[in-house]
Amino acid sequence: MKTYQTMSKDELTSLKTDLEAKYKEFQGMGLKLDMSRGKPSAKQLDISMGMMDVLNSEVSLQCEEGIDCRNYGILDGIKEARELLGAISEVPADNIIIYGNSSLNIMYDTISRSMTHGVMGSTPWCKLDTIKFLCPVPGYDRHFAITEHFGIEMINVPMTNEGPDMDMVEQLVSSDDTIKGIWCVPKYSNPQGITYSEETVKRFARLKPAAKDFRIYWDNAYSVHHLYEDQQDFCLEILEECEKAGNPDIVYKFTSTSKISFPGSGVAAIATSKNNLADIRKQLTLQTIGHDKVNQLRHVRFFKDLDGIHEHMKKHADIMRPKFEAVIDILEKELSGLGIASWIKPRGGYFISFESMDGCAKDIVSKAKEAGVVMTGAGATYPYGKDPKNSNIRIAPSFPTLDELKQAAELFALCVKLVSVEKLLEQ
Amino acid sequence: MKTYQTMSKDELTSLKTDLEAKYKEFQGMGLKLDMSRGKPSAKQLDISMGMMDVLNSEVSLQCEEGIDCRNYGILDGIKEARELLGAISEVPADNIIIYGNSSLNIMYDTISRSMTHGVMGSTPWCKLDTIKFLCPVPGYDRHFAITEHFGIEMINVPMTNEGPDMDMVEQLVSSDDTIKGIWCVPKYSNPQGITYSEETVKRFARLKPAAKDFRIYWDNAYSVHHLYEDQQDFCLEILEECEKAGNPDIVYKFTSTSKISFPGSGVAAIATSKNNLADIRKQLTLQTIGHDKVNQLRHVRFFKDLDGIHEHMKKHADIMRPKFEAVIDILEKELSGLGIASWIKPRGGYFISFESMDGCAKDIVSKAKEAGVVMTGAGATYPYGKDPKNSNIRIAPSFPTLDELKQAAELFALCVKLVSVEKLLEQ
């Protein structure tokens, strides 16, 4: 097979004509598909419907400690929910506080609290001229949107196969006290599906930040979200590593059941050191009288324990795996060997990260859109929406049905080819 | 009957001996009762248990607009929930956003957002040297705790039978641009059970604040929480009044079902002008992907509409009314005519506001506590916990059973007498 780069102008021109004809066909099909967000499909949600039956008017809504979950109170969350979410987060129940339905909301609140009240007694960030965050790229757009919203300057840190470039992280964090945090998705990262290596986690735990109020924002969104039972990534538990390294307070871990039970109606939590929890409680006790304990109880009664979670996640995997494989197969079949694209085959998480030729991502995404397939906006995986090479595209295979997905992936591959040819012809 | 003030020293001393003997008896009973918070009783929660049955695995979790409530999205809340909460708030569904389980959380977030991002483009409050709030007193301790947490200076405004002293409010708000808000509980106020008069609401709507980012924080916590079907307070709807007065953006209304369904697992909402909602959405869309729509659906399927809410509230009233009456009866029987106390008999809400002789509240509350009855801390109804006359005590009759409550009220009345006698003997 010839790579596009070695083709002559004539070959490219003729190829372009073929591809344009195929594209027209797709346009005629009136597709309306969405591969933009990491949104579970209806079929995945159906496997949690039993959760709607565990509580009813005949059942006691008291938790194990005898507290009436219907009433006010219990700021930290009921014990059995702290145990369950603690197990998912690999921390003791005493190191976790359960919030509402959204871990994103916890992250937002964590930054917001640091802005107005600082971190464990530090100067509130809003009183400082400059605040910076490190952002491993490509990364999660909603993380970057939060820091941008608060006027926090974002610094790109390239991802490697083992996680963020730790030489750069160490150098920056130890030398600049305006750097107050780093966004991390340590397991099956968004969008690359990379899991941080043991060495990376250990280096995080051993960081010596110039800023006392520097924290690692460890968004463990996909901790139990494997695609293959026999090929699971393992990520070292960071809270314990930080403790061992004499850095007990340096990390906030975030987790939720959004992609375990129902995305809109799960439970989310923060896991961190007792010092950090005490600091958080000072604010939380003013912010709310307590989060939804009935929903916590519903989750525990349905999932029971970590084994129950793992069993449940196998069902998700059974639905997700064929979708990931279908996209990867189509990418392999259509694009491999052409020298115009690369991608990572993940073992878990919600995304496939795709690299086009430099300068092509935006055009590919808009071409796909014109033919009815919505992708995540090009650039979204970078702070400020600015992908310096304009090459990264996040593919989210979860939401469409398998048949729709195959069509969408075929169209996507076609758009990649077409835009690449156009690009090469311009040169 | 002789008032305590007209008694001789000898009479008081002999009375004191009697009261002390009775107090000892109470101490011997080993009471353990809580009249401290506006917390519904288990019996009240039982009337909402049907809400646990309306959703189950056989039922569609799609809302009327065909959206799958289980999944991500719908920042404003599902339409039927906006209609239901809109009806409770007396505003159109388009003027409301549904949040999670806690209206306190919405208030906190509203202040927090104003601190970091200002109000509709104004300077973020954290960039200003001084921010002040007006606080009608006595008022709700959790309101004051939020403003204190953000370093906002609080100014007491006395309550009258018609609401806050509006001469003072108008004068302050129009002359001082560091005053950015006022906390209001307009109907069955916490703790006095006063409902703002029509004239008061109209004067609020016509305020001409010096600060463009001044807002009225209208915590309509008890809008449908009547005790008597035939004696209901009416409070003019403020959002429409503000519009009429050419002040459409001046008010945020807060509401929740916390004391309608389950305190820990209700739905809460903010109702305000479309300009304010647009401003709020800019932040909210970064803070969360959406609140718990399944719980919204559960509420709508259970309550159906405003008629359903009113029918349901009658059941609450049937449980609450005898408790309020028992406390009032005991206060009347034990304390009226003695010249040492006054109280307001409310027609709704969750509290009875009690005034002791000046300088006695703290001692009464601690005496009650020593005999096993926990009241709201004296001073709690004032900013910074400082009741200048040390005379206001908030009684919360909802949580104990009727029998417990009678005991608690008897003890309370006894403590009032005892502390008053001690006070008079000191003089």
Phi, psi (degrees; rounded to nearest 5) at A373: -115, 115
Confidence at residue B291, expressed as pLDDT on a 0 to 100 scale: 98
Count Cβ atoms below 10 Å from residue A201 Cβ, excluding itself.
25
Rounded mean pLDDT, B212-225:
98
- Model confidence pLDDT, tens digit, residues B4-49: 999 999 999 999 999 999 999 999 999 999 898 899 999 999 999 9
Report the candidate in A12, B123, A345 with the shortest Cα–Cα distance to residue A3. A12
Looking at the DSSP assignment, which residues form a beta bridge with residue B271?
B96, B253
Question: Looking at residues A253-268, what average pLDDT do you find?
Answer: 98
Does A101 contact chain B (CB < 8 Å)? yes
Look at B286 and A59 and tell me if their CB atoms are within 8 Å: no
For range B72-76, the mean pLDDT: 95
CA distance B287 to chain A (A): 5
Please tell me the distance in Å from A159's CA to the nearest CA on chain B.
24
Fold of A61-304: Aspartate Aminotransferase; domain 2 (3.40.640)
User: Is A112 within 8 Å of B108 when comparing Cβ atoms?
Assistant: no
Q: Inter-chain contact B102–A149, Cβ cutoff 8 Å? A: no
Contact yes or no for A41/A376 (Cβ under 8 A): no
At B341, the pLDDT band (50, 70, 90 cuts) reads very high
Q: Does B398 touch chain A (CB under 8 A)?
A: no
Between the CA of residue A278 and those of A112, B16, B280, what are the distances in Å?
17, 45, 29
Please state the ipTM of this predicted complex. 0.97
Q: Is A60 on the interface with B (CB under 8 A)?
A: no
How close does chain A come to B181, measured CA to CA in Å? 18
Whether A124 has its CB under 8 Å from any CB of chain B: the answer is yes
Structure token digits, residue A412:
């996507």
Question: How far apart are the CA of B269 and the nearest CA of chain A, in angstroms?
Answer: 14
For residue range A167-181, what is the model confidence (pLDDT) as tens digits?
A: 999 999 999 999 999
Mutate to test the interface with B, among A287, A293, A350 (most CBs of B within 10 A): A287
Contact residues for B427 (Cβ-Cβ < 8 A; gap 6+): none
Q: Locate all alpha helices (DSSP H) within A133-197, ordered by sequence.
A: 141-149, 166-175
Domain ranges of chain A: 4-44+310-426, 61-304
Query: For residue B56, which phi and psi values (nearest 5 degrees)?
Result: -150, 180
How far off is chain A from B115, nearest CA to CA, in Å?
A: 7
Query: With an 8 Å Cβ cutoff, are A72 and B149 in contact?
Result: no
| Closest approach of B346 to chain A, Cα-based (Å) | 23
Q: Do B264 and A72 touch (CB under 8 A)?
A: yes
Classified as helix, coil or strand, B156 is: strand
Instruction: For residue B274, give the 3-state DSSP assignment.
Output: helix
Contacts of residue B117 in chain A, CB cutoff 8 Å?
149
Contacts of A39 in chain B (CB under 8 A): 71-72
Contact flag B52-A50 (C-beta cutoff 8 Å): no
What DSSP designation does B417 have? H
Q: What does DSSP say about strands A33-35 and A96-98: parallel, antiparallel, or unpaired?
A: unpaired
- Listed by number, the residues of chain B in 163-222 with a beta carbon closer than 8 Å to a beta carbon of chain A are none
CB < 8 Å to B142, chain A: 286, 289
Contacts of B55 in chain A (CB under 8 A): 52
| CB-closest option in A52, A74, A112 to B56 | A52
Q: Tell which wins on pLDDT, A1 or B302.
A: B302
What is the residue-averaged pLDDT of chain B?
Answer: 97
pLDDT at A82 over 80: yes
pLDDT at A298: 98
Residues from chain B that touch A124, judged by Cβ atoms under 8 A, are 126
pLDDT in tens, A293-341: 999 999 999 999 999 999 999 999 999 999 999 999 999 999 999 999 9
Say what the pLDDT of residue A64 is.
96
| DSSP annotation of B6 | G
**So what's the pLDDT on residue B1?**
73
Phi, psi at residue A149, to the nearest 5°? -55, -35
Q: How far, in Å, CA of A362 to CA of A386, rounded?
A: 11
A61, burial (CB in 10 Å: exposed 0-12, middle 13-18, buried 19+): buried
Side chain identity at A374, as an amino acid letter? V
The number of helices, as runs of H, and strands, as runs of E, in chain B is 13, 13
Cα dihedral: A197, A199, A205, A206 (round 10): -160
Structure tokens at A12: 């490219």
Mean pLDDT of A88-98: 98
Query: Which residues 67-96 on chain B approach chain A with CB closer than 8 angstroms?
Result: 68-74
Question: Is A127 part of the contact surface with chain B (CB cutoff 8 Å)?
Answer: yes
Contacts of A102 in chain B (CB under 8 A): 288-291
Of the pLDDT bands very low, low, confident and very high (cuts 50, 70, 90), residue A401 is: very high
Query: For helices A141-149 and B274-287, what crossing angle results, to 10°?
Result: 130
Residues of chain B neighbouring A301 (CB-CB closer than 8 A): none
For residue B370, pLDDT beyond 80: yes
Cβ within 8 Å of A, B 262-321? 262-265, 283, 286-295
Model confidence at A71: pLDDT above 80 = yes
The structure tokens listed for B131 are: 């921010």
Label residue A51 left, alpha or beta by phi (over 0 means left) and psi (-120 to 50 means alpha).
alpha
Question: Which residue of chain A comes nearest to B49, CA vs CA?
Answer: A57
Q: Nearest Cβ partner of B126 from A74, A126, A287?
A: A126
Cβ–Cβ of A295/B265 closer than 8 Å? yes
Q: Please check the confidence at residue A363 and state whether its pLDDT lies above 90.
A: yes
Q: Do A105 and B50 make contact, defined as CB atoms within 8 angstroms?
A: no
**Alpha-helix residue ranges (DSSP H) falling in B118-197:** 141-149, 166-175
Residues near A347 by beta carbon (within 8 Å), at least 6 away in sequence? A188, A193, A195, A226, A227, A228, A231, A232, A233
Name the fold adopted by B4-44+310-426: Aspartate Aminotransferase, domain 1 (3.90.1150)
Tell me if chain A has a CB within 8 Å of the CB of B39. yes
- Chain A hits for B59, Cβ within 8 Å: 52
Q: Residue B89 class from Cβ within 10 Å (0-12 exposed, 13-18 middle, 19+ buried)? A: buried
Q: Is the predicted pLDDT of residue A1 greater than 80, yes or no?
A: no
CA-CA distance, B183 to B418, in Å (whole number)?
Answer: 35
Question: Is it the case that residue A427 has pLDDT exceeding 90?
Answer: no
Suggest the residue from A289, A293, A316 to mutate for an interface test with chain B (most B CBs closer than 10 A).
A289
CATH of the structural domain B62-304, one choice from 3.40.640.10, 3.40.50.300, 3.40.50.12160, 3.30.1360.100? 3.40.640.10
Asked if pLDDT for residue B115 goes beyond 90, the answer is yes
| Residues A262, A48 contacting (CB under 8 angstroms) | yes
Instruction: Please name the residue of chain B whose CA is at the shortest distance from the CA of residue A259.
Output: B71
Residues 6+ apart with CB under 8 A from A303: A84, A260, A261, A309, A312
Token pair belonging to B320: 């609450």
Q: Is A384 left (phi over 0), alpha (psi -120 to 50) or beta?
A: left
Phi/psi for B100 (5° steps) reads -85, -140
CA distances from B83 to B101, B226, B296 (A): 17, 21, 11
Residue B246 region, left (φ>0) first, then alpha (ψ -120 to 50), else beta? left
Pick from B126, B258, B293: which is nearest to A264 by CB? B293
The residue assigned the tokens 């850095």 is A247
CB-CB neighbors (< 8 A) of A73 in chain B: 264
Range A67-89 average pLDDT: 97
Question: For position B427, what pLDDT does the model report?
Answer: 83
Number of helices (H) and strands (E) in chain A: give both, helices first.
13, 13
User: Which strands sit side by side in the sheet containing B251-256, from one edge to the other?
Assistant: B96-98, B268-271, B251-256, B215-219, B179-184, B132-137, B153-160, B163-164
